[in-house]
Amino acid sequence: MTQKLVVVGNGMAPGRALERLFEMVPGAFDVTIFNAEPRTNYDRILLSPVLSGEKSYEEIVIHGDAWYRQNGVTLHKGRKVVKIDRASKTVIAEDGTQADYDKLLIATGSVPFVIPVPGNDLAGVLTYRDIDDVNAMLIAAEQGGHAVVIGGGLLGLEAAAGLKARGMEVTVIHLMPTLMERQLDAAAGQLLKRELESRGIKVVTEASTRQIAATDPCLGPPRVAAVELQDGTSIKADIVVMAVGIRPNAVLAKDAGLATGRGILVNDRMRTSDTDIYGVGECVEFEGNVYGLVAPLYEQASILARELAGAPGAGFVDKALATKLKVTGVDLFSAGDFADGDDREEIVLRDAARGVYRRLVLKDDKVIGAVMFGDTSDSGWFFQLIKDSVDIAGMRETLIFGPAYAGGGNADPFAAVAALPDEAEICGCNGVCKGRIVSAITEKGLTSVDEVRTHTKASASCGTCTGLVEQLLTLSLGEAYNPAAVKPMCSCTELGHADVRRLVVAKQLKTIPDLMQELEWKSSGGCAKCRPALNYYLLSTWPGQYVDDNQSRFVNERVHANIQKDGTYSVVPRMWGGVTTPGELRAIADVADKFQIPSVKCTGGQRIDLLGVKKADLPAVWADLNAAGLVSGHAYGKALRTVKTCVGSDWCRFGTQDSTGLGVRLEKFLWGSWTPAKVKLAVSGCPRNCAEATCKDVGVICVESGYEIHFAGAAGLDIKGTVVLCHVKTEDEVIEVTAALIQLYREQGHYLERIYKWLDRVGMESIKAAVVDDPTRRNALFEGFMHSQKFSQSDPWAQRASGSTDSHEFSPIANLTYMEAAQ
C-alpha cells in the first residue's frame, strides 16, 4: 500500500534521502514536497563557483523537473509551509495549499543570522544562502563599486573572492583576531589573510560593526552607503553581505509542539518526538550537535531512507568533519579537532619559501586534527588517519611529510589508499565509496578527475576528496594518469579552457592582447593552438563588441574555403536542406567551366563541392555563385555546416511531417553562427530515419505527434548515436529548443569540443535543466542566440567578392617574374 510522504523543504538533505528511498522501494511512497524556494533542488555548496563565474546555475542543479516527473513526486515550488496540524496530519502552505501525510519529513535547513545593528534592513544588505542571494550580488557587481562582507568564515570568504572575481572592491570585516578561526589555527588564519590581501581583498580583523549607514534620502530611496565600526571607522559600501553564521530553522516544528533545542531534536534514526514526523539536514539537532556541512547530512539522509523503507541499519553517529575553502587558487584544508590542550601534542611544518604550513594535532598516538595551507595534496590521507583513528606511533618521525614517507624506507605514496577496503567512503558529500570509483575508472575508461566527477559525482561538490580521487586514478591507471590534468590550453599558459572561458567573462576581457596580458600568457602573441580558441571565446562571449581577428583564424576560416593538399581550395555553396534548383545547378556548372575547376563532387552533406579552385580565382568564383543566389556553405568552419533532410510528408508515403521544410527553416535560422566545433544537423520525416539524424550533433525525427529532438551524435573519428533531448509539438518549438541548445553549447563548449564531448563533460541533467525544464532560461538562451546572429548572418563570400575585405589576401602583392626575362 502506498503511503503519503510529505516533505517540507527541498534542499540537499531531503533530495538525497528521496534518491535513496526511490532506489530501495520504488513506488512505496506517494511524495509531495513543499519548497519555499521557487525551483527544484540544486547543490547549495556550489553557489560560490556560480558567484565567481566558474559554473552556471544549470550546472549545479541536482534534480531537474524531469526527475520529479519520473518519480511521481508533486513538487510545490515557491510554497512555504506555515503550519503543521499534527491532529489531522496535514500541512498548510502560505497560499492555502494543503497536503495530508502518513509520514512527514521536515527539512527546512537553516536561516542566515543577521546581526542586530541599525540599518541591517536597508536595500543592498544581503545574506548568502540561496541562488537569489547570488543573483542579487551579481546584479550589484555589474555596477562595480564597493562590497563589504561581514564575517571572515567559510561563506564570507567565498563571497568575498567571488565578488572580487566579478570586479568589485572588496573588504572583509571579521570580529575575531584571525580568519576562519573555527576551522583554522591562528598561524594558518594569518597565512590565509596574507593570501587574500595579495589578491586585492582588504581584510579588517577584530572589527565589530556598529551600524550600517544609509544614502542621503534626498537622492532617492535609501540604500546602504557605508559600514561603520565600533572604533568609528567608516567603510564605503554599495552592498553588504552578511555571512556571520546560520541558525537551524526549527520554528515550524516548534510551533507544532515538537521537541526542539537549537534545532529539531531527533534520535539516531532521524525521528522527532512525534513518531510519524522525521527531520533531516541542518534543521535538526542530534545529541547536542547541529551540522552545517553536507557530509553528515547525507549520512542522515541515507539513514532516514533506510528507516522509511523499513530496512534500518546502523544509526547516526557524530564523526570528524573536513572543510575546504572553495576559492580557486587558495589551498586550504582543515579537519577534526585542533584546539590546544594538555593531553595533546602537535607536529608543525613550515616552509615559508613555498608558502606551505601544516599542523597535526595528536592525542594518544592518533591524529585528531589537521590544518593545511598552501599544499593540501595529502589532505585525504590525513583525514583518513583521523576518521579511522590509525595508530601512528610507527611513522611518527616522517608523518608530517605525508604518505610518500610513511612506512620508512620503501616510500609508497599510494599504500594508504591501496589499503582501503572497497566500501571505504571517499567522497563524503556524495557518499561515494572507493569500489564505485575504481570500477567506474576501469569500466568506463575514465582518465581525469573531471570525468570521475561526471560519472560518479565523487569530488563534485566541496572538492575536499579531490586528492583521494587523484590517487585512485593513479592507482588504477599508473603512468597513464597525469595528475596535472587540468590540461593547459597550450604551452603558452597554465590555464585550461574552462578557466579561460570563465575569466573572459569574470574579468571582462575583450581583446586577445588584453587577455594575454591579464592572464599572464607566457609567449608573446600566443601560438597556432590558443589563438583560434581565444578568438572564438571572445567572439561568442561579446557578440557585436569583439572585432573578429582574422589573423587568429585557421586559413580555411580566414579565406572561407578549404585548403587542399596542393594549396588550391574547395568551394561548397550552401544548398539549404539539400534542396536545389535547375538554376543553381546551372550556375555551378557554369562556374566550373569558366574557371576550369578540375573536380565537381557530391559531398556527404547533401551538396556540391567544387575542388581545385586557385586561390586567386576565389573572389570571382564567389561573385558568380552569389549572382545565382548561392552563399557560403561554411564547409570550412567551426560553424553550422549542413542540415540534411529526407523528402518527408511532401512525397514519401511514410512521412509524418514536412522534414524538408523544417530542415530548410533550421538551416536558414542557424547558418553563419560560429561554434566551438563544427555543428551538423539532420531532419528525418519518420523513424526510418533516412536523413541519418541519429548520428548528428542535433537530429530531429518527425513522428505523428510532433518532433523528437535528439542530440550529441557523431559519425567521424568516434561513432555515437544521439540521445533524446525532448519531444515537442510544433516546428517553432523545434527551432527554439535547437537554438537554445546550440547557444548553451556556444557559451560552455571548449574550442574543438564537439557537442557529444561537451555533453560528456557537463552532463545531461544540466543541459536539460536549461534547455527543456526551465522556459525562462530557454528563452534567454534563444534571445542570446538571436542577438549573436545579428552580427554573423552576412555572407562572407559576398564581402570578399566585392573587394571590401582583405583585398590583398587573394592575389600576390607584387609580381617579379619579369626579372627572368630581364636576365
Partner 1 sequence: MTAMENVWLDIGTIDDIPRQGARVVKTPMGCIAVFRTASDDLFALNDRCPHKGGPLSEGIVHGTSVTCPLHNFVISLETGLAQGADKGEVATFPVRCQAGRIQLEASQLARSKDAA
Report how far residue 525's alpha carbon sits from residue 119's, in angstroms, rounded to the nearest whole number: 51
- In 647-795, alpha helices (H): 659-670, 731-748, 755-762, 764-768, 775-792
Contact partner, 823, from ligand FAD, partner 1, ligand SRM, none, Cβ < 5-8 Å per class = partner 1
Q: Across the strands, what pairs with 573?
A: 632
Contact partner, 679, from ligand SRM, ligand FAD, partner 1, none, Cβ < 5-8 Å per class = none
Instruction: Quickly count: other Cβ atoms within 10 Å of residue 745's Cβ.
Output: 27
Contact partner, 175, from ligand SRM, partner 1, ligand FAD, none, Cβ < 5-8 Å per class = none
Residue 49 interacting with ligand FAD (CB under 6 A):
no
Contact partner, 680, from partner 1, ligand SRM, ligand FAD, none, Cβ < 5-8 Å per class = ligand SRM
Exactly one of 129, 436, 558, 768 binds ligand FAD (CB under 6 A); which one?
A: 129
CB of 605 to ligand SRM, least distance (A): 3
- In 560-693, alpha helices (H): 582-594, 618-627, 659-670
Residue 574 interacting with partner 1 (CB under 8 A):
no
Contacting residues toward ligand SRM, per CB under 6 A: 562, 564, 570, 572, 601, 603-605, 607, 609, 635, 641-642, 678, 680, 714-718, 754
Exactly one of 112, 296, 374, 532 binds partner 1 (CB under 8 A); which one?
A: 532
CB of 402 to ligand FAD, least distance (A): 23
Candidate segments 90-98, 269-277, 377-385, 548-556, binder of partner 1 by CB under 8 A? 548-556
Residue 662 interacting with ligand FAD (CB under 6 A):
no
Candidate segments 52-60, 101-109, 584-592, 710-718, binder of ligand FAD by CB under 6 A? 101-109
In contact, 671 and 788? CB cutoff 8 Å:
no
CB of 6 to ligand FAD, least distance (A): 11
Amino acid at site 654:
F
Residue 155 interacting with ligand FAD (CB under 6 A):
yes
Contact partner, 10, from ligand FAD, ligand SRM, partner 1, none, Cβ < 5-8 Å per class = ligand FAD
Report how far residue 602's alpha carbon sits from residue 632's, in angstroms, rounded to the nearest whole number: 16
Instruction: Output phi, psi for 345, to 5 deg.
Output: -125, 165
CB of 693 to ligand SRM, least distance (A): 10
In contact, 264 and 253? CB cutoff 8 Å:
yes
Contact partner, 47, from ligand FAD, ligand SRM, partner 1, none, Cβ < 5-8 Å per class = ligand FAD
The vertex-212 CA angle with 210 and 214, nearest 5°, equals 145
Candidate segments 105-113, 481-489, 562-570, 622-630, binder of partner 1 by CB under 8 A? 562-570
Residue 611 interacting with partner 1 (CB under 8 A):
no
Query: Hey, which residues between 261 and 290 contact ligand FAD (CB under 6 A)?
Result: 281-282
Angle between helices 775-792 and 731-748 (to 10 degrees): 80
Spatial CA neighbour of 35 closest among 4, 5, 77: 77
CB of 615 to partner 1, least distance (A): 8
Exactly one of 297, 371, 693, 695 binds ligand FAD (CB under 6 A); which one?
A: 297
Exactly one of 118, 629, 803, 812 binds partner 1 (CB under 8 A); which one?
A: 812
Query: Hey, which residues between 408 and 437 contact ligand FAD (CB under 6 A)?
Result: 429
Taking CB under 8 A as the rule, which mask of x and - marks residues 223-262 in contact with partner 1? Answer: ----------------------------------------
Residue 671 interacting with ligand FAD (CB under 6 A):
no
Give DSSP secondary structure letters for 103-162: EEEE---EEE-----TTTTSBTEEE-SSHHHHHHHHHHHHT--EEEEE--SHHHHHHHHH
Contact partner, 609, from ligand SRM, ligand FAD, partner 1, none, Cβ < 5-8 Å per class = ligand SRM
Exactly one of 145, 245, 292, 661 binds ligand FAD (CB under 6 A); which one?
A: 292
Query: Hey, which residues between 461 and 490 contact ligand FAD (CB under 6 A)?
Result: 462
Residue 44 interacting with ligand FAD (CB under 6 A):
yes
Report how far residue 465's alpha carbon sits from residue 456's, in angstroms, rounded to the nearest whole number: 13
Task: Say how many residues touch partner 1, by CB under 8 A.
Answer: 31
Exactly one of 18, 20, 29, 37 binds ligand FAD (CB under 6 A); which one?
A: 37
Report how far residue 300's alpha carbon sits from residue 443's, in angstroms, rounded to the nearest whole number: 30
- In 273-377, alpha helices (H): 294-308
Residue 11 interacting with ligand FAD (CB under 6 A):
yes
Spatial CA neighbour of 652 closest among 695, 678, 684, 618: 684
Contact partner, 559, from ligand SRM, ligand FAD, partner 1, none, Cβ < 5-8 Å per class = partner 1
CB of 578 to ligand FAD, least distance (A): 50
Q: What's the chain's Rg over C-alpha atoms?
A: 31
Q: Which residues of 406-442 are buried (b: 16+ CB within 10 A; e: fewer)?
A: beeeeeebeebbeebeeeebbbbbbbbbbebbbebbe
In contact, 276 and 3? CB cutoff 8 Å:
no
Taking CB under 6 A as the rule, which mask of x and - marks residues 69-88 in contact with ligand FAD? Answer: -----------xx-------
Contact partner, 312, from ligand SRM, partner 1, ligand FAD, none, Cβ < 5-8 Å per class = none
Residue 618 interacting with ligand FAD (CB under 6 A):
no
In Å, what is the CA distance from 319 to each residue of 129, 425, 538?
A: 25, 13, 47
Q: Which residues of 768-778 are buried (b: 16+ CB within 10 A; e: fewer)?
A: bbbbbbbeebb
Spatial CA neighbour of 657 closest among 725, 717, 733: 733
C-alpha cell at 549: 581577428
Spatial CA neighbour of 280 closest among 108, 431, 37: 108
In contact, 31 and 318? CB cutoff 8 Å:
no
Report how far residue 251's alpha carbon sits from residue 368's, in angstroms, rounded to the nearest whole number: 35
Residue 524 interacting with partner 1 (CB under 8 A):
yes
Exactly one of 326, 531, 754, 768 binds partner 1 (CB under 8 A); which one?
A: 531
Residue 813 interacting with partner 1 (CB under 8 A):
yes
In Å, what is the CA distance from 166 to each residue of 44, 49, 721?
A: 20, 11, 40
Spatial CA neighbour of 145 closest among 119, 166, 130, 120: 166
CB of 741 to ligand SRM, least distance (A): 17
CB of 515 to ligand FAD, least distance (A): 29
Q: Report the residue number, 180 or 509, with the smaller CB distance to ligand FAD.
A: 180
Contact partner, 754, from partner 1, ligand SRM, ligand FAD, none, Cβ < 5-8 Å per class = ligand SRM
Q: Report the residue number, 109 or 619, with the smaller CB distance to ligand FAD.
A: 109
Q: Which residues of 134-160 are buried (b: 16+ CB within 10 A; e: fewer)?
A: bebbeebbeeeebbbbbbbbbbbbbbb
In contact, 401 and 349? CB cutoff 8 Å:
yes
Residue 559 interacting with partner 1 (CB under 8 A):
yes
Exactly one of 3, 523, 596, 599 binds partner 1 (CB under 8 A); which one?
A: 523
Exactly one of 525, 583, 721, 775 binds partner 1 (CB under 8 A); which one?
A: 525
C-alpha cell at 780: 534567454
Binding residues vs ligand FAD (CB under 6 A): 8-14, 34-37, 44-45, 47-48, 80-81, 107-110, 128-129, 155, 158, 249, 252, 281-282, 292-295, 297, 326, 429, 462
Residues forming contacts to partner 1 in the complex (CB under 8 A) are 523-528, 531-532, 550-556, 558-559, 563, 565-567, 808, 812-817, 819-820, 823
